[in-house]
Amino acid sequence: MSAGESEAESEYVSPRVEEAVELADASMDAVNVGLDPDVFGDEITGSHRYLQQEFFDMVVKPAIISLADAPTDPRNERAVAEAQAIVAAMNWESNE
């Protein structure tokens, strides 16, 4: 249950949705406090091969596609532009 959400509201939210929100929040918190991208990458590439594919399909690709469709301002314009270039190069469907 997120901050400001009542117990009645949370019972209508799938546990999978809550898990995804918590993972996204934890990931942004890790970036904010100085995530080491080399260590993170090494951990991903050192994991089980099937899980690497699932991680890409369930986390990386949807994040890139969503970022490509994100509203832009000077704080995120490079990330959005890079995500748009990846989506175009890979011929992925956008969320729009």
Structural domain of 21: 1-35
Mean pLDDT score, 2-31: 78
* Same domain, yes or no: 21 and 61: no
Mean pLDDT score, 4-29: 79
| % of the chain surpassing 70 pLDDT | 86
Whether the predicted model's global pTM rises above the 0.95 cut: no
Distance separating alpha carbons of residues 55 and 41, to the nearest angstrom: 12
Expressed in angstroms, the distance from the first to the final Cα of the chain is 29
* Same domain, yes or no: 57 and 89: yes
* Same domain, yes or no: 54 and 24: no
More confident residue, 13 or 87: 87
Mean pLDDT score, 62-86: 96
Exposure letters 35-73 (e unless 16+ CB within 10 A, then b):
eeeeeeeeeeeeeeeeeeeeeeeeeeeeebbebbeeeee
Identify whether 42 is part of a domain: no
How buried is 16 (Cβ within 10 angstroms: 0-12 exposed, 13-18 middle, 19+ buried)?
A: exposed
According to the model, what pLDDT value does residue 13 have? 80
9: confidence class by pLDDT, cuts 50, 70, 90: low
CA nearest to 27, candidates 35, 15, 18, 17: 35
Query: For the chain, what is the domain count?
Result: 2
* Same domain, yes or no: 51 and 28: no
